[in-house]
Structure 1
Amino acid sequence: MNGDSGLHLVVVPLMAHGHLIPAIDMARLFAERGILVSVVTTPVNASRIRAVIRGIDESGLPIRFVELPFPCAQVGLPEGCEHVDVVPPHLFANFFRATALLRLPLESYLRDHHPRPSCIVADVWLPWTMEVARALRVPRLVCHWISSFAVLCYHNIRRQRVRESISDDSEPFVVPGLPDRIVTTRAQAPGFFDAFGWDDIYAQSVEAEETADGLVLNSFDDLEPSYIDKYREATGKKVWAIGPFCLGNRDRASKAVRGSQASVDGDGCMVWLDSMQPRSVVYVSFGSLTQTQPSQLAEIGEGLEESGSPFIWVIKDRERTPATETWLSGLEGRTKGRGLVITGWAPQALILSHPAIGGFVTHCGWNSALEGVSTGVPMITWPHFADQFLNEKLLVQVLKTAVPIGVEAPITYVFDKAVALVKREDVSKAVRSVMDGGEEGEGRRQRAQELGKKARKAVDEEGGSSQENLTRLLDYVSKLCQAK
């Protein structure tokens, strides 16, 4: 488990699928360069990614997982509440206080275990890691798990105090300092900590970024080049785009268990897709955090049926309730042979990489958006909260590889409503636009496929931009270590 490079990187992600998954993917990239990587997690989170850990152990990569006990009781959290998607909304602040209590245990662990860390690579949402780095006198890099486009938007809105000059959440404004004219609202670009009124945590996260020795992006140069350059210029820091991290999972087995153990047989899913025509199937999934209400589920199902396209639709365990069973059973009966409903965790990376997939209905979380980009699949955008509306603008307006479903106002997994915001005719229309879009649709598909080729070139080919940026990052860390 010892790397041969002499470097030891400590990766500290937030305990959420959208952060933990790319962090492990990034750790693979480091380890493939012969670097020892320690990924910090907690017992419950480690159990959730046990299949991933087992696969890494079998690969022989120098990655070790450090399980720190999570102090639920100390902050009033129920035992086992170690992951964002199981935290009750009214206890979110408690959860982030609990993460901060990992500072001293992590510092103690790193002091007591060999080898000494060379660098801490930390989640921007865990600002307390800057204290660990200072105490150990090691450099610290900050990771953003969202697009450079969204990061730059947030940065410019904050720096130019745009939010303070707007009185209404739905009032449109132009984001300043961007290469393109992007109009948004305060509701669509809320940030996170500031949106919840956690001013102290928000200020700490800003300080964590501003005091970092460098910034890491899960993106690639050809995807958003002007936005990466502008972000580098705006921060005055070293910025490395070394993604898409998801492409580090090159074999079928790694794709099948990426993030968690799939709730369906991956082979069976592939056999079903093998029976479909190329680019004929639309894949529908809204990530790990959103919770869709029964009325909205019904509209999605009816819309998929009306579209006429074969589909794979992922529904979470907690969404499949007695209220949904009758109509869902009827839908599955009427669409038998062209519809596949998956309940639970789906092997998304494996599904999207299949040639039968022709479109992707997504919530625009950055991991999902990058998986769509990397596989060259045009998308239907249905953002819900956080950075997702900004990612939609990147996909639809800048890259022109997606069609919007038409949602304008956030509806979160925290404050969801019982009414359906998107009607079945909207779903059906959007699916037909992407799957049978004529000349305009073919242009969109060609742009998506070209971006997919560029993504794979960046990561896989010698001299690819992400490979070169990773080399520059590691050289920089080595020099910082020598200077300490």
Structure 2
Amino acid sequence: MDGKGEDKPLKLYFIPYLAPGHMIPLCAMATLFASKGHHVTIITTPFNAKTLQKSIPSSQSKQHLHLHTVPFPSQEVSLPDGIENLSATTNLDNLVKVYQATTLLRPPIENFVLQNPPDCIVADFLFPWVDELANNLKIPRFAFNGFSLFAICAIESVKKHSLYSSTSFSIPDLPHTITMNASPPKQMSEMLQPLLDTELKSNGLIVNNFVELDGEEYIEHYEKTTGHKAWHLGPASLIRRSIEEKVESGQESAVSVHECLSWLNSKRVNSVVYICFGSLCHFPDKQLYEIACGIEASGHEFIWVVPEKKGKEDESEEEKEKWLPKGFQFQNQEKGLIIRGWAPQVLILSHPAVGAFLTHCGWNSTVEAVSFGIPMITWPVHGEQFYNEKLITQVRGIGVEVGAAEWTAVGFGEREKIVSRDSIQKAVERLMDGGDEAENIRRLAREFGDKAKLAVQEGGSSHKNLTTLIDDLKRLRDCKLS
């Protein structure tokens, strides 16, 4: 075989799941391949395509990156037009409808792929049927699930030892002793397992992380226990480097970037606590009230993102007092910025004034914080977030726990336990009031931030992985052609 085939660009399809935590990182990965001159198509629905269009870098990758849309079945699942993403839902009913709608996307996507076969498909593990599609076409398929590899190792070990009943337990067989203070909801584990089993049939797992954060020991553990290959290509947040791209993956921010930046520019280095629980965690008013009391009692400056209150800017004083202490906004107008809705998170986390991130430990948020060297105050809610918390606190020592112990299947709805204002105040002060522990956590967080930036640069671990993966894919394609 002559060497010409090796120079021919690859044709790659990316199929992201319709939720920000899945879509943002996978599409950032897609731009990586496009930036190397490969022909990349992201398959999604019309409203999600509009969002993505704004976040595609205007560099040379644009000429190699295309969006293909398939219709979203709004009518079939009784959803109003325009709700095509889990982040657009505000209640469990619509969340379930969007989930149902995504299962109906199979025929139009399959149809397009069969008519225009690529060299490789990279699909979210929430589309397990892509396995069968790729096998029929005899092309490689790579899976993506938006988790850290550490979390997957923990999930597999918990499954193996059936550790679902006790509230606190240690996870056996892992390179570190990991002590959990809540057990995963059975329904979540039952839903995840078949998806992870199908994922293991793929040619490999694409991970939005870098080797140094998950750790060589967990990569070895994963590959040894599953026989599956993991490719660390992240952090995705460092792939979109320019200010325009940082402004956040196309979502309309509830506060202007200029307003946010000028507020942060007026603050001292490391003086602001950024509070955000992602787009799929919605707390009841009584929990929001405890957050407000806790942050106020700590005396520290803050930016607080409250998606629960999006579109309720004109609520009455009576309504407001259900979630904010009387006079809270007036007393904290210099100290605090409340954002109702979506915030330009990458821009905020990369600002020197931010000294801590109170987070739900969603993987995107976690890896963004790490990328910018920001220590975390951890408050997991659902999904695999309780595992991520342990990677942050017990394994890498770059955060403190608020003490959340209620693990739910979804981020909406009433909760049995409330995290108290005292716990919130103590956790904030532990990280923000100085002292040896806080300084040590800050130093480690900065070191991981430096490692993250090196990973995506030429010669870094993620950069090398990308080059090797592209070479492997070319070899697979050229063997098929010869």
Task: Give the TM-score normalised by structure 2.
Answer: 0.90
Superposed displacement of residue 393, structure 1: 0.7
The answer to whether the Cα contact below 8 Å between 1:303 and 1:428 also exists between their aligned partners in 2 is yes
Mapped partners of 1:335, 1:189: distance in 2: 37
Name which of 261, 270, 295 aligns with 1:270. Answer: 261
Superposed displacement of residue 254, structure 1: 0.6
Superposed displacement of residue 404, structure 1: 0.4
**Residue 335 in 1 paired to residue 326 in 2?**
no
1:480 corresponds to: 476
Unaligned runs of at least 5 residues, structure 2: 1-6
Change (3 A) 1:58 1:238: closer
Superposed displacement of residue 471, structure 1: 0.8
Change (3 A) 1:25 1:411: same
Change (3 A) 1:72 1:336: closer
**Residue 183 in 1 paired to residue 185 in 2?**
no
**Residue 144 in 1 paired to residue 145 in 2?**
yes
Mapped partners of 1:248, 1:351: distance in 2: 16
Superposed displacement of residue 86, structure 1: 4.3
Where does 1:225-236 land on structure 2 (aligned, <5 Å)?
225=215, 226-236=217-227
Name which of 372, 375, 395 aligns with 1:375. Answer: 372
Change (3 A) 1:329 1:57: farther
Q: Which amino acid aligns with 1:446?
A: R
2:87 corresponds to: 85
The answer to whether the Cα contact below 8 Å between 1:191 and 1:387 also exists between their aligned partners in 2 is no
**Residue 456 in 1 paired to residue 456 in 2?**
no
Superposed displacement of residue 337, structure 1: 1.5
Q: State the number of aligned residues.
A: 466
The answer to whether the Cα contact below 8 Å between 1:220 and 1:241 also exists between their aligned partners in 2 is yes
The answer to whether the Cα contact below 8 Å between 2:143 and 2:199 also exists between their aligned partners in 1 is yes
Question: What's the CA shift string for 1:255-308, capped at 9, x where partnerless?
Answer: 013351222111221111111111111100000001011111111112111111
The answer to whether the Cα contact below 8 Å between 2:303 and 2:336 also exists between their aligned partners in 1 is yes
Name which of 342, 345, 348 aligns with 1:345. Answer: 342
**Residue 258 in 1 paired to residue 230 in 2?**
no
Mapped partners of 2:326, 2:473: distance in 1: 55
Superposed displacement of residue 56, structure 1: 4.4
1:67 corresponds to: 69
Question: What's the CA shift string for 1:391-437, capped at 9, x where partnerless?
Answer: 00110100011010011122465553267712222222111111113
**Residue 217 in 1 paired to residue 217 in 2?**
no
Q: Which amino acid aligns with 2:214?
A: E
The answer to whether the Cα contact below 8 Å between 2:374 and 2:445 also exists between their aligned partners in 1 is yes
Change (3 A) 1:355 1:206: closer
Name which of 226, 229, 232 aligns with 1:241. Answer: 232
Question: What's the CA shift string for 1:120-157, capped at 9, x where partnerless?
Answer: 00111110111221232211001131111101111223
Q: Which amino acid aligns with 2:206?
A: V
The answer to whether the Cα contact below 8 Å between 1:286 and 1:363 also exists between their aligned partners in 2 is yes
**Residue 45 in 1 paired to residue 48 in 2?**
yes
Superposed displacement of residue 75, structure 1: 4.9
Change (3 A) 1:92 1:207: farther
The answer to whether the Cα contact below 8 Å between 2:170 and 2:177 also exists between their aligned partners in 1 is yes
1:403 corresponds to: 400
Classify the secondary structure of the residue corresponding to 1:223.
helix
Task: Give the TM-score normalised by structure 1.
Answer: 0.89
The answer to whether the Cα contact below 8 Å between 1:366 and 1:391 also exists between their aligned partners in 2 is yes
Identical aligned residues as a percent:
39
Classify the secondary structure of the residue corresponding to 2:356.
strand
Change (3 A) 1:268 1:415: closer
Change (3 A) 1:329 1:470: farther
Superposed displacement of residue 85, structure 1: 3.4
Instruction: Please report the RMSD computed on the Cα atoms of aligned residues, expressed in angstroms.
Output: 2.4
Mapped partners of 1:94, 1:417: distance in 2: 20
Change (3 A) 1:190 1:234: farther
The answer to whether the Cα contact below 8 Å between 2:273 and 2:355 also exists between their aligned partners in 1 is yes
The answer to whether the Cα contact below 8 Å between 1:290 and 1:412 also exists between their aligned partners in 2 is no
Question: What's the CA shift string for 1:161-184, capped at 9, x where partnerless?
Answer: 424xx5x3x443332320011133
Question: What's the CA shift string for 1:349-372, capped at 9, x where partnerless?
Answer: 000001111111000000000011
Classify the secondary structure of the residue corresponding to 1:31.
helix
Mapped partners of 1:191, 1:90: distance in 2: 21
2:386 corresponds to: 389
Unaligned runs of at least 5 residues, structure 1: none
